[in-house]
Chain A
Amino acid sequence: PVSNKSEVFLLRTVHLHWNPEVSELLRAGNKVQCSSFILAVGHNAASFLSVYILASANWDAVGRGVAWNERSRSGTGPSGEGSACVFYRHKDEPAVLICHVTCHIAEDQLFQWTEKVFGYLQTRGLTVTVLSDSSVADYKTADYLCSSSAPFLRSLRSSAFSDQPVCQSLEQPNIITGLPAAVLNHCQVHSIAAVVYQCYSDVTGPDSITMDKYKPVLTKLGRSIQVDSSRSTDVLRNFVRSSEIQSNLYI
């Protein structure tokens, strides 16, 4: 229980905890070398990266982020247990960094999270790729979308991103919010190449069909890291099964 505003303010501060090797590097005043930063926001995006990229076991968990807020579940308290925001680095290609974010980062923490993370990265020559889950209910279109069109992918890129995205650009009047928007804003303002792939799905929870929609992004990511695109959709279903048991209210 907290008694005043400044205590709450301190509790809501975003903290990043790095492994000893990275901490030592940062303490010496250096930045983390990074040519490719891949961020997954949401369970489907994170599971997709786990299956196609992280499963190759060439990755080290190098850091953890803590952003305590009103939606943090017990077990992920301000002291930072829980693994809702994890940073991975490739063993052979240390300039490739992946981050999974499956917790809610509140509106007042988004800017801080972004500034802190990018503050640790060497940003020259950096390309940022963000995979983001979203609900099709947030997508506006003149022609009513029947359910068969979801899930689908849309992209948004910063002006410095010169490559071709793997899907259509997000049409007016749609916008993105949350962590992908905060990251894209930072990259736009600081002329960093960045692209957000937003997957609009009509399923709220983990779903293998939704996860599969991110597959075209592998062609771009595969240039800098080894991807296992032979993995079948069955593997994705394993990620889904564990959460289905919790709720059979809506079958």
Chain B
Amino acid sequence: MFISSQDSPATFQGFTLVMPAVAVGNVGQLAVDLIVSTLNMRRVGYFHTDCLIPMAGNNPYASGKADAEELHTPAEVYTAAELKLAVLQIRAPIIQTRSKKFRQQLKSWIKASGFSRTVVLSSSHAYQRDDQQLQGTSLRYLMTPSLLAASADALKELGWREMERIPAFPGVDAEPRLCIPGGGITKGLYTDGCAEDLPLAVLLLFCSEGDNIPDAFALVNHLNDWLHLLDGQSEEPKSKWKIPTSWSLLFGSGIPPALF
């Protein structure tokens, strides 16, 4: 459930919510890190749930000694009120048996908060693409009917590709279905969103595990093409996203010199 970290509770009415799915390469989560870090978003509360593996650490977006020692939890909500933007960052895996419960907790909170739309940043296993998906851009989108109605023009201008329905078992079962392998709760959120008439969009990239920082940049740039989050910033493109201070030692500690 959402617990405010401030004296006066935050209001999200009419805001856009951007959240990641814990998915292959953690691309959605890395992209959200870039958004929070670049827009200097303020933490307004915690998403306190028994569905995530507990973890804690100091401020991942610290800009100096002054704000370095601030404790952060597995799921937190940040806002940039001037952009009417709210972001939920998820830093830990979902406990295996609690996937559905977590989706329900998210949906309840989204409905209760009055977000105008929700954008889920996600990813899917590149190696499971079928022949047609191998060609062209690795970006895909999905939109629930209620959001599609409002965003049809923007989508046409962006020229994005909708996630294809493909046969789950080619040769055996030719029925095209929506499959998002490696996407965590992405598919569940989307199908629930359609069923419950939530204005929800999914933006995902095909990728593999590895150094996913370029994927994060790609995803967040695509998101920016639609939501224009950086319009207020004065920097020119490409150098505009600010890497958080916590993005260090992603592949482990320094190497012992005696190894060579």
Contact = CB atoms under 8 A, between A and B. Distances in A.
B60 interface: yes
B38 to A, nearest CB: 18
Interface string B57-91: 11010100000111101100000000000000000
B247 A158 contact: no
A7 interface: no
A141 B71 contact: no
A147 to B, nearest CB: 10
Chain B interface category by residue count: 20 to 34
Contact of B54 (A144, A145, A182, A190): A182
Which of B68, B71, B74, B98: most chain A CB closer than 10 A?
B71
Given A142-B248, A144-B253, A144-B255, A112 B50 contact: yes
Nearest to A179: B54
B98 A108 contact: yes
A158 B71 contact: yes
Contact of B247 (A110, A173, A185): A173
Nearest to A171: B58
Contacts of A190: 3
Nearest to A139: B253
Contacts of B252: 140
A181 B56 contact: yes
B60 A184 contact: no
A176 interface: yes
Given A107-B95, A159-B70, A176-B56, A141 B254 contact: yes
A157 interface: yes
Q: Which 4 A-B pairs have the closest CB atoms?
A: A175-B57, A111-B50, A182-B54, A181-B54
Given A107-B95, A173-B248, 19 more contacts: A108-B97, A110-B54, A111-B50, A112-B50, A140-B253, A142-B254, A144-B255, A159-B70, A169-B58, A172-B62, A173-B247, A175-B56, A178-B54, A181-B54, A181-B56, A188-B56, A188-B71, A189-B73, A190-B3
